[in-house]
Amino acid sequence: MAHQNHQYSPGTARATIGLGIFLVSLLILIALFAAEVLAGFGELDQKMQTAITGLPGISSVLGLAMNLFHCHALTAIKVVFYVGAIIGLAVAARAGRETRGVASWLNLPVCRAILALVLVFLLGVVFSAEGAFGIVGTHRDALRQASVFGLLACGMTLVIIGGGIDLGVGSVLALVSVTFSLMSIHWGWQPWVSVPACLLLGAMCGGLAGTITAGFRIQPFVATLAMMVFARGLAKTVSGGTKISTAVKNPDGTFRYVDVPAVFRFIDSRILDGNLSVVTVIFIVCAVLTWILLARHRWGTHLYAIGGNEEAARLSGVPVTSTKILSYVASGLLAGVAGLCQAAQEQQGDPETGAGYELTAIAIVVIGGTTLTGGRGGIGLTLLGTLTIGYLEKILSINAVPEASRLMLTGVIIVAAVLAQRRKR
Amino acid sequence: MSPRSQVTHAHDTDNEPLVRMVGISKKFGANQVLRNVDLEIRAGEVLVLAGENGAGKSTLIKILGGVHTEFDGEIWIQGRLVRPKSPSDAAALGVAVIYQELSLVPTMTVADNVFLGRSIVKRGFVDHDEQRRRAQQLLDQLGIEIPVESRVEDLPIAQQQLTEIAKALARNARVIVMDEPTSALNAPEVEKLFNLVKDLKQRGCGIVYITHKMEEIQRIADRITVLRDGEHVGTAPASDLPPARLIQWLVGREIEEQFPRHAATPGHERLRLRGFTVLPMHGQLRPPVENVDLVVRAGEIVGIGGLQGSGASELFMGLFGAYGQNVRGEALLDGKLLRIQSPSTAISQGVALLTNDRKATGLVLSMSVIANATLAGLPRISPMGWRRPALERSITASLCDRVSLRAASLDMEVEWLSGGNQQKVALAKWLQTEPRLLLLDEPTRGIDVGAKREVYQLMDALTQQGLAILLITSELPELLAMSDRIIVLHRGMVTAEFDRSSATPERVLAAAMGRQMANRG
């Protein structure tokens, strides 16, 4: 105990070895994947099979695994390296907790969020669904599907950093989606009227919830729970309880079909030769704007201060009530943007849509590493969280994992991610 | 000669000490917080554990209390080699630690708290009657008058502290560690606590007492162990360590002049209060501050003396707008009527308030030094609300210079700074708003001797530049030495005013205790 040797730290050595294993596995996986994309999955799999048969020891082990899990030789090999990568990372992260050297950056929230994303992404590389993960369309769709959740998560991040929570976003999304459909399809309003009107509606919902919680000091959980129920009811009232689709009911009870409004088609379209969805662009733009407000505007700083210590913030002259209300307004506004996207993608306004989305948004924020207690986090983390959840969903779906298992797996991943994010003293 | 070699080896010929900690070392990451520290606790004595903030006192205590379980060294409790694995493990070994942050459940009753974790159970259900009876018995034995039925959150902090002690004793603790137990107590309550300590000594308990207050050390200590920078400086009987020598052990250097206050040259009238009253809130029966008149001049430090409940802090909060418009009376700042609405209006008019609890109300611990130092003055340096990070950084750097802050990085979270440095960040925040009137509520609470001195120097320098300071402090020597004038409050009203020559500890204390004292006088 008295002999402390400061020259040599076993932690640093272990961290270096762990990181080395991780990086080597990572490179091999990427190389295998690149070869697979270039040569085609079937081709490479054949070669691997032949190669394995040449090595009697390995072939029996891998062969057993292949038969057990009905997987290809190539996939089995990739699984081996994936497990290697995880073990390497775990070793490095564990060592990183004890040392200040090489691996201490592994404990930064950003790094952990990136690593979670990398691990999920590698999952796609390993289980590429016979090469489907190598196609641009897969990624485009993963990003498109994640975008609506990402929009909600950006607003949620603001509210959570300020020490609150917004359970109303899923319902507000439905309300805006219904209203937008009604305006665009039934009433034939031009987008330069309907879009601002819908965004205003979303912002007002947020403002109402914010005023109730911050102005009247009701717990945000309760106030936004009320908004969640209220906005859902309002969406059903506005829509008359039915889906607002292009099948418009005539006064005599028959249906006539109208064209999908141009604004719907635009939002649902793709740019860059069909390689990027407009919805994704909208998400990225909103995320950047939110980031600018949070990181470069006084309001964002005030939000962090309130989430970190509300009383200290108030006694430092921070306008607590208005700052908090504005965070809910922003959340409602972003839920409104998400509602527009949802309506355009579904080509209808469904008053039942978006149920449970608020929980996915919270999961994204938490997986990114923003703490639920407020005061710590950021949009960058939420962006990473969005990609993690989005890719996880996509990878499970291209591998035809049934929804039941998908939900259970997502639950497990959320816990694992939050465990990995836990702050250590 | 270095005091490090002055270890007094007490030859204990009687029985084995209650606790012997030998060669304790502890690292947090690469940071060595304890290096080969020895500690011995004997039955029937008060051992004062002294050291500046960051000296390792809390860590050492947390090792004994089973909070930190990874360490080098040995712990012997009553002759047995042990290694407390958890706080309950330590409790089973007879060690009770009363931390600064109380570990009571505020929504439960005193009786429930005393028996928390080992409830008295009858047929699978908690036997509340029995718990109440036994808790009452225990409190009676200790001479503590607390209704066992009341919920802890409804009790004043002093009674909560006593409840915590009762809880420790209910577990038959032989070793009781108290970490700055008097930081929230007023004089009569401190008396009560000291009597209790005396009583515990007679029962053969060993008491470890951590404090920053010199007067307490002199009153209560049998032996003193001093830590500095994680090392054991020495242990000596209290009689061998007069204050001057003790300070030398604590800081490793002689402090020639404890209070660097130059003679003030008061300027024009900065603040005048006429009939200032804070209206009762939250079911209070009387106004916490009533009809206060006072004047502070530019360049002057006016001290506000008073015991717990004097209303001094409420006066500051009211003046600063923290209670909104719940105040009456007139406040003039530089001859102009002070608008009292909210902290932000106060700040914009040149008033700053350093609150008495930097962790709860002063700082946002999760934010960086820069963000904290610029928080109050952010509107001044963010045109149209857009922040200018480079400007913030340079402003913070120069502020840190002024308050002699030592931080590894301006981007580090304030949470990781020592108490003294945290306080300097809070001070920097207020300097950045360029106030005309600075309200300081306990500016040196819980910070080490070196940092205290730097805060005093800063106060002196600021008044030289014409700032007016109102100072609340519960440490009498500090109040007497730093204040040019002293106003004493008792139950929200001014009971006396002294200038430097007429203020003596006895007179200030008498005025602070109000009429009761005068009657007995």
One pLDDT digit (tens) per residue for chain B, 521 residues? 344 433 334 444 456 788 999 999 988 765 678 889 999 999 999 999 988 766 788 889 999 988 888 889 999 988 889 988 888 888 888 898 887 766 788 888 888 888 887 777 788 888 888 888 888 888 887 777 788 888 888 887 777 878 888 888 777 788 999 888 876 677 777 888 888 888 888 888 899 998 877 778 888 899 999 988 788 988 999 888 887 788 778 766 544 457 777 777 888 999 999 999 999 887 677 888 999 999 999 999 999 988 767 889 999 999 999 998 899 999 999 999 999 999 999 999 999 999 988 988 999 999 999 999 999 989 888 888 899 999 999 999 999 999 988 888 898 889 888 888 899 999 999 999 999 999 999 998 878 778 888 999 999 999 999 999 999 987 778 888 899 999 999 888 898 899 888 887 777 877 877 644 443 33
Total number of residues shown for chain B? 521
Q: What is the 3-state secondary structure (H, E, C) of B396-459?
A: HHHHHHHCCCCCCCCCCEHHHCCHHHHHHHHHHHHHHCCCCEEEEECCCCCCCHHHHHHHHHHH
d(CA A210, CA A214): 6
Q: Which residues contact A393 (CB under 8 A, 6 or more apart)?
A: A142, A145, A146, A406, A410
Tell me if A298 and B379 make a contact (CB, 8 A cut-off).
yes
**Residues of B whose CB is below 8 A from A369:** none
- pLDDT for position A31: 87
* Interface probe with B: pick from A161, A296, A316, most Cβ of B within 10 Å: A316
Closest to B295 measured CA to CA, from B506, B491, B484? B484
Q: Which residues contact A360 (CB under 8 A, 6 or more apart)?
A: A149, A152, A153, A389
Q: Give DSSP secondary structure letters for B471-512.
A: EE-S-HHHHHHH-SEEEEEETTEEEEEEETTT--HHHHHHHH
Using 50, 70 and 90 to split pLDDT, how confident is the model at A311?
Answer: very high
Q: Which residue of A has its CA nearest to B427?
A: A316
d(CA B282, CA B314): 13
**Residues of A whose CB is below 8 A from B429:** 316
Assigned CATH topology for domain A136-382: ABC transporter involved in vitamin B12 uptake, BtuC (1.10.3470)
Amino acid at position A186, single letter: H
- pLDDT for position A10: 63
Left (φ > 0), alpha (ψ -120 to 50) or beta: where does A39 sit?
A: alpha
- pLDDT for position A96: 67
Assigned CATH topology for domain B3-251: Rossmann fold (3.40.50)
Q: Which residues pair with B109 in a beta bridge?
A: B151
- pLDDT for position B330: 92
Output phi, psi for B14, to 5 deg: -70, -155
Task: Say whether residue B22 is in contact with chain A using an 8 A CB cutoff.
Answer: no
Q: Which residues pair with B225 in a beta bridge?
A: B49, B235
**Residues of B whose CB is below 8 A from A296:** 386-387, 389
**Residues of A whose CB is below 8 A from B362:** 312, 315
By three-state DSSP, how is residue B330 classified?
A: strand
Tell me if A314 and B322 make a contact (CB, 8 A cut-off).
yes
**Alpha-carbon gap: A183 to the closest alpha carbon of chain B (Å):** 36
Is residue A171's pLDDT more than 60? yes
Rounded alpha-carbon distances, angstroms, from residue A301 to B66, B362, B422:
38, 16, 19
* Interface probe with B: pick from A3, A217, A315, A371, most Cβ of B within 10 Å: A315
Domains B3-251 and B264-350+436-521 share a fold: yes
Alpha-carbon dihedral angle through residues B115, B121, B125, B127, given to the nearest 10 degrees = -70
**Alpha-carbon gap: A125 to the closest alpha carbon of chain B (Å):** 36
- Give per-residue pLDDT as tens, B318-358: 999 999 889 999 999 999 999 999 999 999 999 999 998 89
**Class in CATH terms, B264-350+436-521:** alpha beta
d(CA A317, CA A303): 13
Rounded alpha-carbon distances, angstroms, from residue A230 to A156, A167, A223, A407:
19, 11, 10, 27
- Give per-residue pLDDT as tens, B455-469: 999 999 999 999 999
Q: Which residue of B has its CA nearest to A301?
A: B371
Rounded alpha-carbon distances, angstroms, from residue B218 to B44, B246, B250, B304:
17, 10, 15, 25
How many interface pairs between A and B have CB atoms less than 8 angstroms apart? 92
Beta-carbon count within 10 A of B202 CB: 9
**Residues of A whose CB is below 8 A from B385:** 297-299
- pLDDT for position A267: 87
Tell me if A308 and B320 make a contact (CB, 8 A cut-off).
no
Domain ranges, ordered by start, for chain B: 3-251, 264-350+436-521, 363-434
Alpha-carbon dihedral angle through residues B85, B88, B89, B95, given to the nearest 10 degrees = 110
Question: Do residues B209 and B221 lie in contact, with contact meaning Cβ atoms separated by under 8 Å?
Answer: yes
* DSSP H helices in A317-425: 320-346, 357-368, 379-398, 403-421
- pLDDT for position A103: 53
Tell me if B364 and A314 make a contact (CB, 8 A cut-off).
no
* DSSP H helices in A40-135: 41-53, 56-69, 73-98, 109-126
Task: Say whether residue B383 is in contact with chain A using an 8 A CB cutoff.
Answer: no
**Residues of A whose CB is below 8 A from B28:** 425
**Alpha-carbon gap: A393 to the closest alpha carbon of chain B (Å):** 33
Using 50, 70 and 90 to split pLDDT, how confident is the model at A307?
Answer: very high
Domain ranges, ordered by start, for chain A: 10-107, 136-382
Amino acid at position B116, single letter: L
Closest to B354 measured CA to CA, from B434, B422, B441, B447? B441
- pLDDT for position B159: 79
Tracing tokens 């359970």 back to the chain, one arrives at: A167
**What is the complex's ipTM, to 2 decimals?**
0.82
